[in-house]
Chains A and B, each alone.
Chain A
Amino acid sequence: MSHAIEAARPAQTSAWQMYRAMVGVGVVCGLLIVGVFQATLPIIERNKAEALRSAIFHVLPHATTSTTFRLDESGGFSAVEGDSAKGQLVYAGYDDEHALVGLAVEAQGMGYQDVIRLIYGYSFADEAIIGIQVLDSKETPGLGDKIENDTDFLANFERLDVALGEDSMALANAIVPVRHGEKTHPWEVDGITGATISSKAIAKILDGSAQYWVPRIQRNLEALQGGE
């Protein structure tokens, strides 16, 4: 009886054969990925730099030139050259007369699906955020991705108040999300129905970033104005 069962059972594949197939295919696949990654990396980085430049002028519409500044350990700003600069960077925008019109700042934080990366424009004259653009997001298509193109939502950032408090160490009023249609103050972000978590995430990202950057930028206005 047991012999009959054994005879009916198909021949077993050895562990070595399975190991060989998986590892062999895996190594070839890995090499292929690395090869294509190396080949496309310079082009992708160039595309990203161009997209960033375009985003800077989108969030600072009156700027015609920009200079990149790095925040030093001492708390001051120094101008840096090239697209490959690393560190804590901000992008100062200047008009045709080389007058500073504002700063573009990158910020990121967790959204509903994944990290949302955005850039916003900060105006000294208005003490406000005057525009945002989402650079990278994987929010739910049709719902969460409304943060990128919902005109009512984007209208929040035409003049979002980020004035400093009396001690100049933090914002006078934190940026807070509110339900759609309930916005009463210029520092509130009117949410999107159906994309509550994503719109709250944008408010949280902007608040965290503005609380950090605005006091530092205001303390170094002279250095930034002399960038061009």
Chain B
Amino acid sequence: MAASTKSSTDEFIKGLWKENPVFVQVLGMCPALAVSNSARNALAMGLATAFVLVMSNMVVSSLRRFIPKEVRIATYILVIATFVTLVDYVIQAISLDLYKALGAFISLIVVNCLILGRAEAFASKNTVVRSTLDGLGMGIGFAFALFSIGAVREIFGSGSLFGMQLFHDRFQDWVVMILPSGGFFTLAAWLLLFNWVKQRKLRGEDAGALALSEEAAR
């Protein structure tokens, strides 16, 4: 029982950092680069994707014994497209400005490889609880990654965060950061940081293992 609980927790945590969809798996790059020009847009897109991911994982996992393998991909797409359509209507009801800012990218959540990937690789083979936790972890990880990119771009590109001015009037905006190329620069910087942390951790583990083996040899 304890092992099962630990395992379920791991399913949730892995998507946040160790297997982060954007910074580690490099999935869903299209919205990650295109709508991360402000923290608000990035967070809204991240949360919309997270919602679709959790719901589709839940439904695909519930129906995994009912859906024949020959039609599984078509059925998954149907389920994902339904939740994307719901998100589309809900965002229109919440804020037309936000809907306009996210534009075509809301509909494009349907073809986000992260969502179909988790449905096929995980939800179709695991229980509802584990699939939901997996979707939640991956979704929050995706939203966190988009927010990280969006916040950096908005801070440097507009001198603000969530529309609130952070710097003195004399701050010269780095316009390139809110242009498409700024998305690539910021993503590259985050990937560099993630890989540096990972390498450092691996080196630390190697050094620890070496020290242990030398001690044992004495």
Interface residues of A (CB under 8 A from B): 13, 17-18, 21-22, 24-26, 29, 32-33, 36-37, 40, 43-44, 47-48, 51, 113, 136-138, 141-142, 145
Minimum CB distance partner of A42 in chain B: B93
- Which residues does chain A contribute within 8 Å of B95, judged by CB atoms? 47
Instruction: For the complex, give the distance between the alpha carbons of A47 and B95 in Å.
Output: 8
Instruction: For the complex, give the distance between the alpha carbons of A96 and B179 in Å.
Output: 42
Minimum CB distance partner of B179 in chain A: A142
> Are B79's CB and A44's CB within 8 A?
no
CB within 8 A of A141: which of B35, B66, B68? B35
- Which residues does chain B contribute within 8 Å of A17, judged by CB atoms? 68
Minimum CB distance partner of B87 in chain A: A36
Minimum CB distance partner of B76 in chain A: A25
- Size of chain B's interface in residues, with CB distance under 8 A? 29
> Are B96's CB and A18's CB within 8 A?
no
Report the minimum CB–CB distance from A193 to chain B (whole Å). Answer: 14
Minimum CB distance partner of A30 in chain B: B82
> Are A48's CB and B96's CB within 8 A?
yes
Report the minimum CB–CB distance from B31 to chain A (whole Å). Answer: 10
Interface residues of B (CB under 8 A from A): 34-35, 63, 66-71, 74-75, 78-79, 81-82, 85-86, 89-90, 92-93, 95-96, 100, 103-105, 179-180
- Which residues does chain B contribute within 8 Å of A33, judged by CB atoms? 82, 85-86
Report the minimum CB–CB distance from B49 to chain A (whole Å). Answer: 17
> Are B35's CB and A18's CB within 8 A?
no
Instruction: For the complex, give the distance between the alpha carbons of A37 and B78 in Å.
Output: 17
Instruction: For the complex, give the distance between the alpha carbons of A26 and B81 in Å.
Output: 11
Report the minimum CB–CB distance from B3 to chain A (whole Å). Answer: 33
Instruction: For the complex, give the distance between the alpha carbons of A145 and B179 in Å.
Output: 12
- Which residues does chain B contribute within 8 Å of A24, judged by CB atoms? 66
The 10 closest A-B pairs by CB, nearest first: A29-B82, A13-B68, A43-B93, A40-B93, A40-B89, A142-B180, A44-B92, A18-B71, A47-B96, A36-B86
Instruction: For the complex, give the distance between the alpha carbons of A43 and B92 in Å.
Output: 8
Instruction: For the complex, give the distance between the alpha carbons of A87 and B43 in Å.
Output: 39
- Which residues does chain A contribute within 8 Å of B63, judged by CB atoms? 21, 25
Minimum CB distance partner of A140 in chain B: B104
- Which residues does chain B contribute within 8 Å of A22, judged by CB atoms? 71, 74-75, 78
> Are A26's CB and B78's CB within 8 A?
yes
Instruction: For the complex, give the distance between the alpha carbons of A20 and B69 in Å.
Output: 13
Instruction: For the complex, give the distance between the alpha carbons of A40 and B129 in Å.
Output: 30
Q: A13-B70, A21-B66, A29-B82 are in contact. Are A141 and B93 (CB under 8 A)?
A: no
- Which residues does chain B contribute within 8 Å of A21, judged by CB atoms? 63, 66-68, 71, 75
- Which residues does chain B contribute within 8 Å of A26, judged by CB atoms? 78
Minimum CB distance partner of B95 in chain A: A47
> Are A138's CB and B103's CB within 8 A?
yes
> Are B70's CB and A18's CB within 8 A?
yes
CB within 8 A of A25: which of B78, B90, B96? B78
Q: A13-B68, A18-B70, A36-B86 are in contact. Are A29 and B93 (CB under 8 A)?
A: no
Minimum CB distance partner of B178 in chain A: A142
**Can you report 11 A-B residue pairs in the complex whose CB atoms are below 8 A from each other?**
A13-B68, A21-B67, A26-B78, A36-B89, A37-B89, A40-B90, A137-B103, A141-B34, A141-B35, A142-B34, A145-B103
